[in-house]
Structure 1
């Protein structure tokens, strides 16, 4: 695995150029440019905060940062999962002509989504600071290991959805359905206590996505790193999906081109 990662690193100028090309193409001749990527989470935060903060009995200054942080995470996850489905077909010409590690193309998707995620997360941090302030700025450093976990998990997810879509063309539709279901099973727009009050707190405790988003929310909203239990579940889930992605690459990478 280390050798494979080394070969991916050796191709870094190639996949970095692909990411830059994707970003330039996306915002070419655009009036707002990068602002379009921020418009959706900000607009959703305004609308949902207006509607739900009273329903959930949460103050606006508490709910708005909570909601925006969750939407940043969820939009990135959606972009990675759905973008991963088409990442190999998008790079089919490169795959046929250049014997580079297949994992660089899902990585391309992850880095593109990650760029927009970081910009949106910065907005969430600024919003939190302006509405609530920070009691412990040092806790923000714990976002760094959280980002490492999220990148590994996202990269692995994009590998799996990309390979699955080659063999099963309906993967994209299945992923969209699963994401829709998981959106409501994960505390993105509602506080976790709502499920706990209904006796469904286990949906949050053992939901890997809930623990992944908590890695970001804890330092930003609570001023402290996420708990050891949260990190443990997030890391175990990441290792599981990483293992599945590694196995899929090992078994299918060389023969995948014949199915495209």
Structure 2
């Protein structure tokens, strides 16, 4: 397929651009990569202290739950926002070279995926002190979950990049919609809280709920989500991948007229 052929041929350029982005991100920073530990940890501790009182939940239980939901969500939002502007911010490369355009949205998602992996190190360091007994075989399911998330976010970033070429208001609109889904998704609250009030349909109809489930369960070392949850995530991801491939093949080098 043309899409994957172009990615393969431009793989070294993609790797080079990704390294460049990571270096630029931490250049002249005193703490550097450590910010990927400290930033999410600080956010989780602050939110955890507040919501442990609001939800009357032990902070040792709430902080890992928040951490396991916020990290993938930050990865998704960063990939979506970075993807939306990926063509516009790389128009110099696109106009002056024949580099396959497929790599630019993927570049945004891979950079954020690396940051996610670093942040997961902070999660595990914290979690091993809070609940060392939860570490076990179930955590190995984090590998397929991360792969699904990477493909899901990469496809979303590609679609966002193309839509943003035709509708420049799409980026702020997307941010607003994503912010809304943040509160509709069980990230800072547990689904059981909705069940008790017969509002479970709010999260059951929300696709992000299922994506959160496949990564949160393994991270916490708890019960692995059932096969239905995995299938839903895989189907949604495959649909988005197909849409992104069709769109990017359609626009091709005509993208220069939109930049």
Deviation track 1:10-58 (CA, whole Å, cap 9, x = no partner) reads 2111111101111111111111111223333111111111111132232
Mapping for residues 1-260 of structure 1, pairs under 5 Å: 1=1, 3-135=2-134, 137-260=136-259
- Structure 1, 220-229 or 9-18: larger mean CA deviation: 220-229
CA deviation vs aligned residue, 1:186-235 (integer Å, no higher than 9, x gap): 11111111111221212222322111111111112243432212112111
Structure 2 distance, partners of 1:15, 1:135, is 37
Provide the TM-score with structure 1 as the length reference: 0.94
TM-score, structure 2 as length reference: 0.94
Gaps of 5+ in 2: none
CA RMSD in angstroms, aligned pairs only: 1.5
Is the CA contact 2:67–2:123 (under 8 Å) kept in the aligned structure 1? Answer: yes
For each residue in 1:141-192, what CA deviation from the matched residue of structure 2 results, as whole angstroms up to 9, or x when unmatched? Answer: 1111111111111110110111111111111110111111011011111111
Structure 1 distance, partners of 2:153, 2:133, is 28
Q: How far 1:66 moved relative to its partner?
A: 0.6
Q: Which runs of 5+ in 1 are unaligned?
A: none
Q: Secondary structure at the match of 2:132?
A: coil
Checking the alignment, whether the CA contact within 8 Å between 1:187 and 1:210 is kept in structure 2 is yes
> Would you say how many aligned residue pairs link Structure 1 and Structure 2?
259
Moved over 4 A (4+): none
CA contact (8 A) 1:206 1:233 kept: no
